[in-house]
Amino acid sequence: MKQEINLIVKPEFIKTYREGYPLISKESIVNWDKVSDEGVVLNLVDAKGKFILKGYHGIQNKGYGWALSRKKDEKIDANYFSKKIKSALEHRKEFFHDAQTTAFRVFNGEGDGVGGVTIDYFDGFYLLTWYSLGIYEFKTEILEALKNSVEYKGIYQKKRFDAKGKYLDEKDDFVCGEKADAPILVRENGVNFAIYLDDGAMVGVFLDQREVRKKIRDKYAQGKTVFNAFSYTGAFSVFAAVGGAKKTTSVDLAKRSLPKTKEQFSINGIDVQSQEIVVEDVFNYFKYALKKNLLFDLVVLDPPSFARSKKRTFSASKDYVNLLKEAIQITKKGGIIVASTNSANFSMMTFSDFIAKAFKELKGKYEVKERFSLPKDFRVLENFKEGNYLKVVFIKKLK
Ligand code: SAH
């Protein structure tokens, strides 16, 4: 049995919690000093002791715990997690029936009722990501629930415990079942991806960009020259190439991006020699492109929300306008910039302001063609808009 603690909510926060806000903050609690260990069950009550919600204590960049249940007598056990997982699976039913897409998210933290943990599906393998020690304390129950709810080849995990969500290298992320090949091949709308389930923090693809990649392939790539900045394994470049792009140029600072991008091209039958893959700081590449008067039809910008390199730090909330200004200058008139950010620190509205500001400062003109946020499998709560961190805007450069 997990230890349970009663916590009194300050009057001004009661309504928010009652309405379904899932994130528990220290500031909202009168007697937080009662809490110590992560993983304890928290019963939030009002000053008269009336029950509000049941949650758990887990420290993440976002807060100090997550709501789990609105039922006073609910036990937070394997049966509870089974119910959550089954409902999550139901929500992704059509994904399991789509032979063209074999990689997607099956459980999206608070969006599926349990903040702090996500589960991704990769062609029969399941990957659990734990975002706090607190939720990891429920590992036995959650694993049991998962095993009882799905047929699986194997289960893997990533621990991203500390406040910054940093990956803890355990040398072995395998949990149970069969071991996955390195790589396994999955499909996304008919395109192949090589996935490494046990090779560090990232597996090779960011699943939340699925709809954006599809749109680029189906509508924007044919015959175009494509510049993909912060390209990682080149997923956007691969979709552009499959969609008939004339040529793609992928730029990423990390050395690993070169072999990984080559691999993604070759498993899709694309001649790697006809594509350009550059290991370099994107900001240096912009300088080079400007000097050489390089212009592209389609420019994809998908930077990390925060990165520190030897020379500079990049923070999306501070530096996106400048990044856009660089991108605008190497985009042909009539060309498209796909501006993306996964920063939860600002809204779509603010992001739109960044775009307006960048064009204004360059005396340019633009038109927004498409907007995307998280796809259906990255389920978000109506009462927790911050959970919908992804913002992607397709911008046509008119001038
Ligand atoms: N767009 C990618 C995901 C980007 S992840 C995709 O669709 O899969 C962020 C990437 O930015 C990482 O691969 C990291 O190596 C790279 N990166 C961070 N700072 C960079 C910089 N200054 N120049 C080039 N790449 C950078």
Rounded CA gap, 3 and 260, in Å?
A: 46
Contact at 8 Å (CB) between 76 and 138?
Answer: yes
- What distance in angstroms lies between residue 31's CA and the mean position of ligand 1's atoms? 43
Q: Note the pLDDT of residue 209.
A: 98
Q: What is the pLDDT of residues 328-384, one digit of tens each?
A: 999 999 999 999 999 999 999 999 999 999 999 999 999 999 999 999 999 999 999
- Residue 289 corresponds to which amino acid? A
Among 381, 383, 369, 372, residue whose Cα is nearest residue 342: 372
Rounded CA gap, 106 and 121, in Å?
A: 6
Rounded CA gap, 66 and 362, in Å?
A: 44
Among 74, 133, 127, residue whose Cα is nearest residue 104: 127
Quick one: which atom of ligand 1 is closest to the CA of 209? 7
Nearest CA to ligand 1 atom 9: 304
Among 203, 220, 202, residue whose Cα is nearest residue 211: 220
Handedness of CA 33, 38, 41, 45 (dihedral sign): positive
> With 70 as the cut, is the pLDDT of residue 165 above it?
no
- Mode of pairing for the β-strands spanning 247-252 and 225-229: parallel
Share of the chain above pLDDT 90, in %: 92
304 lines ligand 1 (CB under 6 A): yes
281 lines ligand 1 (CB under 6 A): yes
Q: What is the pLDDT of residues 57-71, one digit of tens each?
A: 999 977 899 999 999
> With 60 as the cut, is the pLDDT of residue 137 above it?
yes
Indicate the top mutation candidate among 205, 217, 252, 313 to test ligand 1's pocket, ranked by most ligand atoms within 8 A of CB: 252
253 lines ligand 1 (CB under 6 A): yes
Give the count of alpha carbons within 13 A of 152, CB side only. Answer: 26
* Domain architecture of the chain: domains with CATH: 4-69 (2.30.130.10), 78-189 (3.30.750.80), 206-397 (3.40.50.150)
Taking residues 244-266, report their average pLDDT.
98
230 lines ligand 1 (CB under 6 A): yes
285 lines ligand 1 (CB under 6 A): no
Taking residues 305-319, report their average pLDDT.
88
77 lines ligand 1 (CB under 6 A): no
308 lines ligand 1 (CB under 6 A): no
Indicate the top mutation candidate among 209, 232, 305 to test ligand 1's pocket, ranked by most ligand atoms within 8 A of CB: 232
DSSP β-bridge partners for residue 168: 159
- Mode of pairing for the β-strands spanning 174-177 and 191-195: unpaired
208 lines ligand 1 (CB under 6 A): no
Quick one: which atom of ligand 1 is closest to the CA of 233? 8
Residue 30 has a CB neighbour count (10 Å cut-off) of 13
- What distance in angstroms lies between residue 301's CA and the mean position of ligand 1's atoms? 9
DSSP β-bridge partners for residue 249: 227, 276
Chain center to CA of 131: 13
Among 54, 53, 50, 46, residue whose Cα is nearest residue 30: 46
Q: What is the pLDDT of residues 85-107, one digit of tens each?
A: 999 999 999 999 999 999 999 99
Taking residues 205-210, report their average pLDDT.
98
Q: Note the pLDDT of residue 163.
A: 56
Sheet of strand 391-397, all strands in order from the earlier edge strand to the far edge = 276-279, 247-252, 225-229, 296-301, 331-341, 391-397, 366-372
Contact at 8 Å (CB) between 154 and 145?
Answer: no
- Mode of pairing for the β-strands spanning 117-122 and 4-8: unpaired
This prediction's pTM: 0.96
Nearest CA to ligand 1 atom 10: 230
191 lines ligand 1 (CB under 6 A): no
Nearest CA to ligand 1 atom 12: 232
- What distance in angstroms lies between residue 27's CA and the mean position of ligand 1's atoms? 35
Average pLDDT in the chain: 95
- What distance in angstroms lies between residue 68's CA and the mean position of ligand 1's atoms? 34
> With 70 as the cut, is the pLDDT of residue 213 above it?
yes
